[in-house]
Amino acid sequence: MILYQLSCAGGHRFEAWFKNSETYGEQCESGCIECPQCGDQHISKAPMAPYLGKSLGEERSTEARAREVAQQILKAVDRLRVSVEKNSDYVGDQFAEEARRIHYGEADKRSIFGEATGDETSELDEEGIEYFRLPSAPRKND
């Protein structure tokens, strides 16, 4: 496993774990990596300080810890998704339109979830309409 410091075209920085450098390259080229803050898929490696392990055993320990942390993150994402789905109204591909209606007082204020295109979310940003992008389903690094 390898940890990369990444950044999107919008300047947001975040970390991500990959099976190896080839996996990072494949996922980046195919658009599978997106910024967790804005959803941008134009991702590049950001400068970061190298990690220098002391021994092979320590490297294995670091890999085990990385897998453990990754599993905890995936479980937290799953709990978040379940909570949103339980406590919000599903509006499907009408998310952007319904978010606007709520924002401008044309519909009752309530929690909603659904799907929106990149263009739709950009328009919501421009209008100052707040929303939260849920992480997509976990992807496999194999």
For the stretch 109-112, contacts whose Cβ atoms lie closer than 8 Å and that sit 24 or more positions apart, written own/partner, are 111/84, 111/87, 112/88
pLDDT digits (tens, 9 = 90+) for 27-82: 888 888 988 888 888 899 887 655 555 555 555 677 888 888 888 888 888 888 88
| Mean pLDDT computed over 78-100 | 93
Strand partners, 45: 6
Q: Are 1 and 10 in contact (CB under 8 A)?
A: no
Which pTM value belongs to this model? 0.52
Beta-carbon contacts of residue 42 (< 8 Å; ≥ 6 apart): 8, 9
